[in-house]
Amino acid sequence: MDKLTCMQAFISVVEAGGFSSAARKSGLSKALVSRYVGQLEQMLDLRLLHRTTRQVRTTTVGQAYYERCRLLLEELAELESAIQTEQSTPTGTLRINAPTSFAELRLMPAVAAYSERYPEVRIEMELTDRFVNLVEEGVDLAIRIADLPDSSFVARKLGVVAMLACASPGYLERYGEPKVPKDLAGHKCIIDTNYSSVDRWLIGNEASGEWVQVSGPIRVDSPKAARELLRSGQGIGLLPSFVVEEDIAGGRLCRLFPGIEPQTHGINAVYTHRKHLSAKVRLFIEMVQAHLTNGEFPVPQGNPAPDK
């Protein structure tokens, strides 16, 4: 007799609370369910259930066997589902949450390529800088730029973002260039309120960087908006590399403190399922990673001449 079938019958009896209920739910006869469970006990040479005329309950060893058996059958079902998924084209709706500026500046090429390759998937994107609850809001995948705490979710690191202090050549010509981080205290700073510590900037990495108190005339909750203010000469900003790297490369902005290794944050794909990842989510993660250069954003070095 198939041991797997016997295990499934045993689990159904425990969860249904009796042989009659298990038989009705499984579509088998009560006698056949009882036969399967009895055969399992014979194979194991153990009594798994206490049977009375009124109820069925597990023995001590039967309860322990039930817990392990249930997990084993769940893993088997997930394995079979994963194998089937690998051979199928992804379909359905893919719900994605991502930070606004990162999505607008870096994620859309991956979204376009994914939609072109897998037209049977409908993509629904929510762009917000808040951390959403994936389970409560029905999100399949979140892109988060942060050093994530341990949680029940799964995080796959896709790359890194550096936090770069920068200003326009015009601003530096008018007010001078800060030589060391503490010089920022005497400058007008454009503060992106998405930055975790807001009025205190970490210049350098977490191990050896210097915290500096900053202030300025303008606060804004968008790194793209802060970048535009920097380009117009309104002050100094501390912004993610994906927002300012092209302006630094083109000379529209100058990176400050180029000799100091910047603070970095991971770019993470976050999802809920530990044991099995659906094809639509897995393939999107792979697409995003393919569109990030070597899985990282390069940190511009030095200050090239401005574009003419």
Residue 98 sits in the same domain as residue 232? yes
In tens digits, the chain (308 residues) has pLDDT values of 588 889 989 999 998 888 988 888 888 888 999 999 999 999 999 899 998 877 888 999 989 998 888 888 877 776 666 665 555 678 889 999 999 999 999 999 899 989 999 999 999 999 988 877 787 788 889 999 887 665 667 888 888 899 999 999 999 999 999 999 999 999 999 999 988 788 899 999 888 899 999 999 999 999 999 999 999 999 999 999 999 999 999 999 999 999 999 999 989 999 886 556 788 888 899 889 888 855 444 455 555 544 43
The four Cα atoms 122, 152, 106, 239 give a dihedral, to 10 degrees, of 150
Helix axes 60-86, 3-16, angle to 10 degrees: 120
Look at the chain and report how many structural domains it folds into: 2
According to DSSP, residue 262 is labeled: P
Say whether both 135 and 211 belong to one domain.
Answer: yes
Give the three-state DSSP class for 115: helix
How many whole angstroms separate alpha carbon 14 and alpha carbon 11? 5
Q: What is the CATH number of the domain that holds 80?
A: 1.10.10.10
User: Which of 42, 59, 86 delimits the end of a domain?
Assistant: 86
What pLDDT score was predicted for residue 22? Answer: 87
Cross-strand partners of 219 = 191
Are 29 and 46 in a shared domain? yes
CA angle at residue 17 from 19 to 80, to 5 degrees? 80
Query: pTM of the full predicted structure?
Result: 0.66
- Domain's final residue, options 22, 54, 86: 86
- The pLDDT, as a whole number, for residue 305 is 46
Last residue of a domain, one of 25, 52, 86: 86
Q: Is 97 in the same domain as 233? A: yes
Are 79 and 109 within one domain? no
Q: What CATH number is attached to the domain comprising 268?
A: 3.40.190.290
Domain membership of residue 217 as a residue range: 91-308
What residues contact residue 123 under an 8 Å CB cut-off, 6+ apart?
93, 94, 96, 111, 114, 115
Residue whose entry in the numeric block shows the structure tokens 């970490």: 202
Residues 207 and 119 in one domain: yes
Give residue 213's pLDDT. 95
Q: Are residues 77 and 173 in the same domain?
A: no
Q: Are residues 170 and 284 in the same domain?
A: yes
Please name every residue paired with 237 in a beta bridge, in sequence order, or none if there are none. Answer: 166, 190
Residue 44 sits in the same domain as residue 160: no
Residues 118, 19: one domain? no
- Shared domain for 57 and 193, answered yes or no, is no
pLDDT of 295 reads: 44
Q: Nearest Cα to 90, choosing from 117, 64, 58, 71?
A: 117
Per-residue confidence (pLDDT) for residue 279, from 0 to 100: 84
Same domain, 62 and 145: no
